[in-house]
Chains A and B, each alone.
Chain A
Amino acid sequence: MADKTELLQGTLDLIVLKLLRTGPANGWDLTQSIQVVSKGALDVNYGSLYPALRRLEAKGWVKGRWGVSENNRRARFYELTASGLKQLDTERQAWERFSHALGLILRTE
């Protein structure tokens, strides 16, 4: 637990969009996916996940609807919209440019 990384500001949106690319998911699924995919290295404050989903929904990048979860309870499922897909591309490119540039800087002695 000691080597957990704090989430960089603004990256939660990117993560959520990326994870939703594989298909609709509810909030809980997403938290599990983050844990699994990052191999437990990312510390996501779940309290900020739901508001983030709201924010993405308000911007029209994801769409939420009520459905039934795998344990037969009412849960809200989110799926990526067309504009969300475009946004994911934009943000991913931006991130890659940023991390590439950061890498260059960090590597120079």
Chain B
Amino acid sequence: MLASILVRLKALVFRTRSDAELDEEIRYHLERETERNVERGMDAAGARFAARRAMGNVSVATEDARDSMRWRRLEELGQDIRFALRSFRRAPTFVLTVVATIGLGLGLLTAAFTLFETYVLRPNAVRDPTSLFDVSWYSRDGARRRTTWKDYRALETRRDVLAESYAAISVEVRVRGLPTGGQLVTGNYFSMLGATPAVGRLLRPDDTEIPGTPPIIVLSHDTWQSMFGGDSSILGQLVPINGVPLRVVGVARKGFGGVESTPAQFWAPITMAETINPLKEIFADTSQNSVRMIARLRAGVSDEQAAAALLTTLQTRTLEAAVDRRARSVILESRATSVPLTREVIEVFSPLAVAFLLVMLIACANVANVMLARGMARQREIGVRLSLGAARGRIVRQLLTESIVLSVPAAIAGYIVARGAIAFALYLLVAKAPASFRPFFRVISLTMDTRVAVFMMLAAIGAAVGFGLVPALQSTRPSVVRATRGDFDSGMRPSKLRSGLVIAQVAVSALLLICAGILLSTARDTRKKDPLVHARNIVMLDIVPRSNELALDEIRRLPDTRLVAAATSAPLDGVFPIVEAVGSDAVNAEVRFNVVSPSYFDAFDIPLRRGRMFSEDEGRGRASVAIVSEAMAAALWPGRDPIGQRVVLPKHEGPLSRYSGAAVIGVVRDSRPGYISLSSSIPVVYFPQPSDAPGMNLIVRSRAESDAARTAIESAINKRDSTAIREVHTIEESLSFQLYPFEMAYFTAAIVGGVALLLTSTGVYGVLAYIVMQRRRELGVRLALGATPRSVVAMMVRHTGRLAIIGLVIGASVALMLSRFLGAIRNVFNVYDPRGFALGIGVVLVSCLVAGFVPARGAGKVDPIEALKAD
């Protein structure tokens, strides 16, 4: 056995020698056979020929003989790789094209996968992350709520379902001038998450017993390294947080960042919350401010069981509350990974994943096309090898090896592209992010780990087999005789396959660009249609009721204040509440309402369409009059004059009931009832109230720029009462915050669509160029018979047009079909937006025609004489 292995090894290592020996043996045999034939009276040439014929097909037999060696595969692989490298040296452009194309597709796909992997697949680096859940609840009015401190204290005692839980408040502050995100946590935070210190100690349960103490802080390892340069004397240093000096007691171990989607940079005791942020009451019995509750379920308790148990506690606690504020259900969201894998996450990620996958497929189709063309060009070579006795399987294997050899540099290129794409994406995220978003992006580290590497390898090999197999089978099919003659297009339909690939590419890029088109037109709509979106120099404040008068007084006294308005619901923030309204013909509709001061419409420049605005008296007297949006007028009084009609609110009791039966005095232009993602064509009714009613959102239109105005207002009010302001923000912040996701979505779609289009255009170009080359002779004949170059070019362009139109029809139909499934985002995007479709289809069609025109022009320049002489 050992001996036989040695023989095989020897044969493998000294293959060339061994082959030479075989050749020599065979030569000897042929000589003897020839000699014998001569002895028998044949002439020299006949004798040699007879000897050869008796020998049979030596090369097939030799391959067969090698089959007996188990090492054959290995040996062939080495041979194929050497052969592939040799043939690539002769065709550098081909290699470059393939590597760049696959690298681009693979790189984008990997970048997307890295993002997904980092947030959704990688478990949080804490002890037993799968049993950790974020606790929130729904009240009967459908609002999602977080727990207050008191709720948390009540819920954490449910030891029948919860092993342990902690409460945390996220804070965004500046440390050494840099925006920094930290968490104020209960003392059991670190022990519950199984964290250990790198230096000093972490927070302990006894740290969070008395509100207002102790002024200590724990830094994350990253913060310690980046902000304090890994200072070894860090313990005992004072770090001011919101002006409150906190003493550093420790640094958490490297890599620990908690369970939020962005790692915390520091931790302080939750008992310091009111000291750090005096405006925010946490511990008072009446406080409505929320804390984040993270619970660890007891082993063996399912999340449904736990949710049901926690709900009973919450229901008891909210028994006294207004009906709509009572608890309806408890939501437990897994914190095993940064972003829980919920339905919403899958819905958001899957179109993205599909888009990137499609780009990858386009890239593969392109490469398959290039490979096919190369296969055609090598037809003669392959034909000769087949006729010399090489087995078809052997040649297919060899062509596949070529593809796989190509996939290695392609994977490397993909890796570089992925790094670049991630860096660019992060740059874009940060550059485009509103100022208040930026701290979130600074610390995300998107590293490519083993899982990403494995993913890339699999994708690269999958692509290699995908783009290599079909052309390999295709080009080894011809009969030996025809191939050696150089005649291979009869009976083979590679052009059909290539056209199919182009149609698929066109379809995919049309689909992607239609999506980009829809996103673009939505983004434009959000910016254009609504006067609210153009509002500038507006500061919005939420003032504690008792200080309302004082705050208004200070604001009015500021020289830059142009006007002050008030509204129960702040625009561009949250959603206006719903009320059922009945029009005159008993048409009833769910509409959204807002109770506003007369100056509200002026503050936002919402234009009046008909009738008049509220008068100051109507505001002060809360008169039973109403102003409706155009959409509301159309919904309740279609085709009639809304002015003078009455808005009846049949079901409403409480403060709103006074407005039931209000007479419509004016119609204003449509604007969104809250967040920018809402449609501006939702019906809205406005009722009057005075601007100094307490508990309202104050809207200050200033002559100064928002940021300056906010600073002035804040300091003026704080001078009198530093606890008056609950919340203050500028309209620009609010807008950029909400527009940001749209812009990101649009950018992503545009970039992905652009890459797809680029690949498709080159694909179209390649196929057309190839067809022109293949039909050169026929074109020459046509030209010789009197066809004008123009008509020949037109013929080729028509061909491109045909492919493009078939692809576009398929792409658009798929887009229409997909639209039906995108229910989740239909509220935000008009998925049937005709402009989006027109844009996508138009761009693809034009690019295809341009890409096809260049080689088509070459068709008109074919010299008939040359073309006919060629064969």
Q: Which A residues contact B (CB, under 8 angstroms)?
A: 26-28, 31, 45-48, 50-52, 54-55, 57-60, 69, 71, 73-76
Contact = CB atoms under 8 A, between A and B. Distances in A.
Contacts of B549: none
Interface in B70-116: none
Given A27-B29, A28-B28, A28-B33, A46 B55 contact: yes
Interface in B41-78: 54-58, 60-62, 64-66, 68-69
A46 B8 contact: no
28 contacts: A27-B25, A28-B28, A28-B29, A45-B55, A45-B56, A46-B29, A46-B56, A47-B56, A47-B57, A47-B60, A47-B61, A48-B64, A50-B29, A50-B65, A51-B61, A51-B64, A51-B66, A51-B68, A52-B65, A54-B22, A54-B65, A55-B65, A55-B68, A57-B7, A60-B4, A69-B28, A76-B25, A76-B28
A46 to B, nearest CB: 5
B7 A48 contact: no
Interface string B16-44: 00000110111011011100000000000
Interface in B1-20: 3-4, 7-8, 11
A47 B564 CA distance: 103
Contacts of A26: 25, 28
Contacts of A27: 25, 28-29
A14 B22 CA distance: 21
Contacts of A59: 4, 68
Contacts of B29: 27-28, 31, 46, 50
B214 to A, nearest CB: 81
Nearest to B54: A46
Contacts of A73: 28, 31
A60 B8 CA distance: 10
B69 A58 contact: yes
Contacts of B69: 58
Contacts of B68: 51, 54-55, 58-59
A75 B28 contact: yes
Contacts of B66: 51
Given A46-B56, A47-B56, 5 more contacts: A50-B65, A58-B7, A58-B8, A76-B24, A76-B28
B57 A76 contact: no
A76 B21 contact: yes
Contact of A58 (B11, B31, B60): B11
Given A51-B62, A76-B21, A58 B4 contact: yes
Contact count band on B: 20 to 34
A76 B24 CA distance: 9
A27 B32 CA distance: 10
Contacts of B64: 48, 51
Given A28-B33, A55-B65, A50 B26 contact: yes
B61 A60 contact: no
Q: Is the interface of A mostly helix, strand, loop or mixed?
A: helix
A6 to B, nearest CB: 13
Nearest to B62: A51
A46 B65 CA distance: 13
Nearest to A52: B65
Interface of B: 3-4, 7-8, 11, 21-22, 24-26, 28-29, 31-33, 54-58, 60-62, 64-66, 68-69
B651 to A, nearest CB: 92
Contacts of B56: 45-48
| 7 tightest A-B CB contacts, nearest first | A51-B65, A47-B56, A55-B68, A45-B56, A28-B32, A47-B61, A47-B55
A45 B62 CA distance: 13
Contacts of A45: 55-56, 61
A74 B62 contact: no
A13 B66 CA distance: 16
A47 B7 contact: no
Contacts of B32: 28, 71
Contacts of B25: 26-27, 50, 75-76
A44 B31 CA distance: 18
A73 B68 CA distance: 29
A46 B29 CA distance: 9
Nearest to B69: A58
Nearest to B57: A47
A101 B24 CA distance: 42
Contacts of B33: 28, 31, 46
Nearest to B65: A51
A85 B61 CA distance: 25
Nearest to B1: A60
Looking at A31, A51, A52, A57, which has the most chain B CB atoms within 10 Å of its CB? Answer: A51
A26 to B, nearest CB: 7
B61 A50 contact: yes
A27 B25 CA distance: 8
Contacts of A55: 65, 68
A58 B58 CA distance: 19
A31 B58 CA distance: 15
B854 to A, nearest CB: 53
A16 to B, nearest CB: 13
A45 B61 CA distance: 10
A43 B58 CA distance: 16
B7 A50 contact: no
Nearest to A75: B28
A60 B10 CA distance: 13
Contacts of B31: 73
A4 to B, nearest CB: 12
A58 B65 CA distance: 10
A60 B6 CA distance: 10
Contacts of B8: 58
A45 B58 CA distance: 10
A57 to B, nearest CB: 7
Contacts of B65: 50-52, 54-55
Given A47-B56, A55-B65, A74 B7 contact: no
Nearest to B36: A32
A52 B58 CA distance: 12
A73 B24 CA distance: 11
A47 B53 CA distance: 9
A101 B28 CA distance: 41
A45 to B, nearest CB: 4
A73 B32 CA distance: 10
A98 B9 CA distance: 35
Nearest to B59: A47
A50 B8 CA distance: 16
Contacts of A54: 22, 65, 68
Contacts of A71: 32
Contacts of A48: 56, 61, 64
B559 to A, nearest CB: 101
A60 B1 CA distance: 8
A28 B62 CA distance: 17
A50 B57 contact: no
A15 B373 CA distance: 50
Contacts of A51: 61-62, 64-66, 68
A60 B4 CA distance: 6
Contacts of A28: 28-29, 32-33
A31 B29 CA distance: 9
Given A58-B7, A58-B8, A47 B21 contact: no
Nearest to A58: B7
Looking at A28, A47, A74, which has the most chain B CB atoms within 10 Å of its CB? Answer: A47
A57 B65 CA distance: 11
Contacts of A76: 21, 24-25, 28
A87 to B, nearest CB: 12
Nearest to A30: B29
A99 to B, nearest CB: 25
Nearest to A73: B28
Contacts of A52: 65
Nearest to B23: A50
B22 A50 contact: yes
A58 B67 CA distance: 11
Contacts of A74: 24, 28
Nearest to A47: B56
